[in-house]
Structures are given as C-alpha cells and as structure tokens.
Structure 1
C-alpha cells in the first residue's frame, strides 16, 4: 500500500556541478526536494520506488545501486540510485554486464537527491517510464507497485510543460500555464482522479515529461487516502517545476 510520495522535477540543472554558477535560482527547488524526501523517510516505508521519464534505453526497472552519470551534460560526475547492495559489489562486473543498466537522466537526478539527503530508510528500486505509455497502463503499473509491500513510498520525478516562455525548450505555448496550474492543483490536493484524467496528447505537445510518472503515482495512490502539500512551483527557464509531498 502506498503510504507516502514525493514529487520532484528532474532537470540535471538541479545538480550544482551541472549548473554553471550552481543555478542559485533553483536553490528553493533543491530545498523543497529535500523536504519532500524527508516526508518519505518519516513514513518509514518498507520499500521506495523511484519513477522517472526515460528514453527507450532507460525504460524498465533499475536495481538499487545502479549507476548514473552527468558526463552527457559536460560534468565528470557519477551517482548511484541508493547505496549498492554488498552482494552486487562482490559481483560488480556481472552487474554491469547484466541487471545494472545506466540510469536515465531523471533517475540520475533522483540518485543525486537521495545521496544528498543520505537515504537509508528502506531498500529501493528504480523504474524508467516512456512518454508514450498510455494512461491506463500507467495507472495499472502504479497499482502493481503499491501492492508490492505493506508500506510503499514513491519518489516521482518529472517536469511540467516546457513551453512557458519564448526562450523555453518548446517555445511559448499559451496552453502551458493552464496545464501546469492544473497539475500543481492536483498534486497539492493529492487529487488522484485529476491526475488520471490528464490530457496525454496535450502533455506531449507541451513536452511535459512528468505526465506518465504522475499517472503511475495516481494508480499507486488509488484508495490510499493520502493528503498533499505543494512545496514549490515555478517555471525557471520556461519549464514548469513542481515539488509536492503526499502522506
């Protein structure tokens, strides 16, 4: 059963080493992410599942301790998704060749956040989900995740629209502000029905990478009776970033 969730944005710029000058405009978002992960720890889950958007190569499960890198963003920085299992360390080469795949950027950012907060509360795993995943399938996946343990927590990575300003990655789209406002309202209220009903086509057009992970969250939270709190909402660089905590 889902007992807590944290929703965080996943731009690599959250990592100060990646951001030129450490992007001080994201300090408030970083602090909010730390607070949201604190809510997860306080819930004392049996298992943490970290979910984030991923391209084809990064989709599917990722084991605890899987490696990620920010070298693709010009920084010689490696991270892990939680602390590696000692058994995996003993057979490191086999893990590299088989079960342990490189983390997609969203889960690498999650790994950095968890490392920054010293996560040690519960075992964890990662799941990369693709933008094309239909809402119905996202909801089903979420329900399956919630049934894996008596007390499950989710760390849900994903950005809102990338079309809030003329300089945004997706240029300006007048629909973006309204879409992001609805996402923020739904996450603040832990409104499962509203997340399930997000317009997948509009989300795609607005380059909202968090749509599928948020709908996985909706499936996991169905019937859990959680309440929500919005910890941060802004659109630096023309991209909507939202941080929320459900408990």
Structure 2
C-alpha cells in the first residue's frame, strides 16, 4: 500500500534558499547544462512554475547556485602569511570550492558574480591586491583576470574528478595513473610528429608532457601575481 498522508515524508517547504540548495544538488548530480528548471522542480517535488516566485529565470538561479558554492570559503588570516600568501591561498580555496560542485564555475564565465558570498571573497581579493601595492586603476582588471583563472581552474579540476568517477578500475582511477595516461596520450601524438614541420613541439616534448599537477597550478598563479606587480 502507498504511504498515507500521515506516513508520507513532508515535502521541503519552498523558499529561495530551498530552491537554490536543491539546484546545487542537481548540479552536483547532472552538471550545469543539464540542471534545468524542470529538473530542479522535480527535486523539490513541485512544478517549474512555482520556482519563478523565487528566481526570475534559470540564469539567476545558476548565479545563486554559484554563490552558494562559495559559502564555505574561509578568508585567510594574518597567520597564513603576507598579503601574497593570503591571496594565493584564497584563490586556491575558491577554486576548490567551485570544483567540488561539478561545472558550476560555468555560471561565472559570461557574468559577474554578485551574490553575498561572491562579494565577500572578491572584497578580500581586492583588499589584498591593494595591500600588495597594485595600483587602484589595475585592481578591477586584476580581479577580473583572477576570476577567469578561478573559473577555468575549477572547471579543469571538476572535469578531472568527473573522469575519475567514471573509471571502473580503481587502479586506473588514481591521480597518478590518470596523469600518466593523459600524458601518454599526448606524448603518443607528439612522438609521431615530423620534426621538420613541428620542430619546437618536438624539442619541448618532454616538458610539454611532463604534467606538473599542483606545481603547475602554483606556477600559473605566481606568474599572474608577478605580472600584476610588474605593472606597478
């Protein structure tokens, strides 16, 4: 027998917070592109029309989901080092927070994150840039550049995690094994190239397929900050 009115679990009471939280769960499950208003409504056991009481459209909902993904990002303190160490740590935390929720970083590619959690972390990014001596006129563009770095890095990490989950063999799903397989595929292509046509790629082949992992990510962020300081 189906559960009666008194035994059936109560539906989640609708609110903007509940809608956004449900949308984040849907993004975690099916990804940014597939997280439709209809799919979110199904998660809440309601109809899509009821969601528009709380958000104007899907774009607003995904922006709110992106903001929620940043809710637990802790701002570095003086114990974490100088302004540069704190800036790099904050950027790393933002990347990790977004990468933990599939490809939600896509929501920031074509828009400017303006939710309360985004504003909180961006305020700290701008403050640290000023503490570091970055000219005020450059701060806005610097924040935009760092935002693009955060989004692209989060998407790369999320894609890597998704591929890792899809590998059935645990031995092949380790970071080391996946990195070796990825480098091997690239190296196989480079090894077959004609040195006369692609002399530079052939010459740099060991470095191009050498990976780097966390060191590569740290290097890219360090180069961005070095470039900002050089502009001053």
Tell me the TM-score normalized by structure 2. 0.26
Larger radius of gyration: 2
Larger helix percent: 2
Larger strand percent: 1
Tell me the TM-score normalized by structure 1. 0.25
